[in-house]
Structures are given as C-alpha cells and as structure tokens.
Amino acid sequence: MSDPALQVENLSGGYDPVQIFQDIDLVLHKGESIGIFGPNGHGKTTFLKTLSGLIDPWSGSIRFHGELMNRVGERGSRKWRNFNYDAVTRRRMDPKTVARAGLIHVQQGNLLFPELTVGETLSISSGAAKGREGWSLEQVRGLFPCVAERGDHKIRFLSGGERQMVSVAAGLLSAPRLLILDEPTLGLSPKIRQELCDAILTVRKTGMPIILIDQDVGFLEQIIDTLYLFDHGRISGRMTHAEMPDHDGLMALLFGEYH
Ligand SMILES: Nc1ncnc2c1ncn2[C@@H]1O[C@H](COP(=O)(O)OP(=O)(O)OP(=O)(O)O)[C@@H](O)[C@H]1O
Ligand SMILES: [Mg+2]
C-alpha cells in the first residue's frame, strides 16, 4: 500500500515550558478528510501549529507522504527570556519546508494582512506554490465569487465571512497536498457557512486530504469521513462518519451525561 498522506506518531508539544498536548497518533490517508472536535483551550490549534512547523514539536514524528518533516534533538537552552532563540538555534522543524512540501495550514482567526488588497494577498499565496501543480486563480475565483469581485479591495474593508473565504482561497493557491482548516466557520452566518461548506466539498471531491477543526457538528458532518475527539491535549476517541452522534451526543462523550 502507498504511504499515507500524513502519519503522526506519539507527538507531544506545547509552549516551552508548558506542555499542551501529548502522545498523539493520527493517520490520514490520501483522499480522506478528518475532523477534530473538542472543548476550547484544550490544545487543538497548538497541535495543528505543530503539524505545520509553526511551533517546534517536543517529541514524536510527523511524516508527510512518507517523508519525515521533523528532526529529533535538542534546542538551545532558553535561559534568557528576552532573547530570540529561534534566530540562532536550529529548529526541529522548518515551517517553510513544510509549506513547500504542500502541507498548507489555514490558521484560526483569519491572520491576513489588513493593508494588502485581496489580489495582493492571493498573489503572495501563489508564490508559495513554487512551481507545484495546484489550483489556478481562475478556479479559485469560480469557487469563491466574492473573492473575484473584491480583488482591488483592502482586506480591512472585507467582512469576517469574506476574509475567511480569502483565507481558504489563499490556502488553495499555495498548491496544497493536504489542507488544514482551523475553525473556518467561526463567526459566520448560516448562509456564509453553507457557501464555505459547499466550496470545501468541491475541494474534497478532487481527492484533497483535509484536516478540519470546527465546533459546528453539522458542518463537520457534511465534510468529514472520520472524527477525532480532542480532550485535555489527547485524542480521546475516534469514530467514523456513520458512528458520529449529534452535538449533544458528542458533548456527552466529552463531558459525561448532562441535564
Ligand atoms: N502563544 C501561546 N503561548 C502560550 N500559551 C498559549 C499560546 N497560545 C495558546 N496558548 C495556550 O495553550 C492552550 C491551548 O490553546 P489552543 O489555542 O491550542 O486551544 P484550542 O483547543 O485550539 O482552543 P479553541 O477551541 O478555543 O480554539 C490554552 O491554555 C492557551 O492559553
Ligand atoms: Mg483553536
């Protein structure tokens, strides 16, 4: 059998010296989409940031299409608080290498540059594709009509929903081989939520593996094949789409029965 798209073994990490998540094992096959559901502040975003190399993993391994993305080993000691160790010590994982390999992470809370226009934002993302085959600007415009209409507008003049569309569009233009979406529906109206869902489903149909974190069970249900429950920095459960309960059922699994 061919290598899975992503294979995470025994991964632990956090914000030195505080450990946030531990011993995570996860396999994502080509063409599969998985969801991660869990309470606020339990480490989902920290785990994803570690997958994409934004913060260094402490231990364990991350393989992307068979290739080991992190190295094991010491980092420099962090004795002085106001010293930028990242500038002088070797990281265990380099986010640029990760992005160039096609592991693309659309972060929580649309971290776009407010003073750039939509067009400028998208052209930076296309640059990250570095010759890899991916979505073209035309295809992305077709997927998100509002992105096409607002090309000359600065990001700061867009609504939250439009910014979210631009964030996902930027992710697609970076030629992903795996797309990570962290809470894309945060703050969106039901109508925009559905538009975004339809767009992600179109991406899914191309066979793109997807990792989706969201608090909206109805949204997750439309997109994913497998759901992981995330609790206190650990994966506490795994279920197929058919086994997924509704929102209340999931809350009961995480917190016990409540009345
Ligand atoms: N940059 C940071 N430095 C130190 N601690 C952080 C940092 N970012 C997050 N944390 C802490 O890490 C813990 C996990 O946060 P994280 O954002 O990973 O949770 P989450 O499960 O994604 O939550 P949410 O569902 O609200 O997005 C929290 O206690 C948070 O305060
Ligand atoms: Mg989060």
Q: Is residue 1 domain-resident?
A: no
Residue 181's closest CA among 159, 206, 204, 151?
A: 204
Q: How far is the CA of 49 from the centre of ligand 2 (A)?
A: 10
Ligand nearest to the CA of 49: 1
Task: Quickly tell me which residue has 């290498």 as its tokens.
Answer: 97
Q: Is residue 38 domain-resident?
A: yes
Q: Where are the beta strands (DSSP E) in 93-134?
A: 103-106
Question: 21: which strand partners?
Answer: 13
Q: How far is the CA of 46 from the centre of ligand 1 (A)?
A: 6
Ligand 1, atom 29, residue with closest C-alpha: 41
Q: Where are the beta strands (DSSP E) in the chain?
A: 6-15, 18-28, 33-37, 59-64, 67-68, 103-106, 178-182, 210-213, 226-231, 234-240
pLDDT at 197 over 90: yes
Task: Say if residues 226 and 256 touch (Cβ distance below 8 Å).
Answer: no
Residue 91 identity (one-letter amino acid): R
The token duo for 106 is 């659309």
Q: How far is the CA of 45 from the centre of ligand 2 (A)?
A: 4
Q: How far is the CA of 152 from the centre of ligand 2 (A)?
A: 30
Q: How far is the CA of 68 from the centre of ligand 1 (A)?
A: 26
Q: Is residue 27 domain-resident?
A: yes
The CB density around residue 125, as the number of other CB atoms within 10 Å, is 23
**What range does the domain containing 80 cover?**
6-255
Angle at 130 between CA 200 and CA 33, to 5 degrees: 25
pLDDT at 235 over 80: yes
How many structural domains does the chain have?
1
Ligand 1, atom 14, residue with closest C-alpha: 43
Task: Quickly tell me which residue has 């910014």 as its tokens.
Answer: 163
C-alpha to C-alpha distance for 37 and 215, rounded to whole angstroms: 6
* pLDDT digits 0-9 by tens, 35-91: 999 999 999 999 999 999 999 999 999 999 999 999 877 665 666 677 776 667 778
C-alpha to C-alpha distance for 167 and 161, rounded to whole angstroms: 10
Q: Is residue 179 domain-resident?
A: yes
The token duo for 207 is 């066979």
* pLDDT digits 0-9 by tens, 134-172: 899 999 999 998 888 888 899 999 988 899 999 999 999
Q: Is residue 34 domain-resident?
A: yes
Three-state secondary-structure class, residue 166: helix
Mean of the pLDDT values across residues 173-191? 93
Q: Is residue 121 domain-resident?
A: yes
Q: Which residues line ligand 1 (CB under 6 A)?
A: 15, 20, 38, 40-46, 108
C-alpha to C-alpha distance for 218 and 247, rounded to whole angstroms: 8
Q: Is residue 139 domain-resident?
A: yes
Three-state secondary-structure class, residue 33: strand
C-alpha to C-alpha distance for 80 and 89, rounded to whole angstroms: 13
Model pTM score: 0.92
Ligand 1, atom 9, residue with closest C-alpha: 46
Report pLDDT for 98.
Answer: 93
Please give the helix or strand (H or E) that residue 203 lies within, else none.
Answer: helix 190-205
Q: Is residue 230 domain-resident?
A: yes
- Ligand 1 atom with the smallest distance to the CA of 42 is 21
- Ligand 1 atom with the smallest distance to the CA of 47 is 18
Instruction: Provide the phi-psi class of 73: left if phi over 0, else alpha when psi is between -120 and 50, else beta.
Output: left
CATH number for position 139: 3.40.50.300
Ligand 1, atom 25, residue with closest C-alpha: 40
Report pLDDT for 77.
Answer: 61
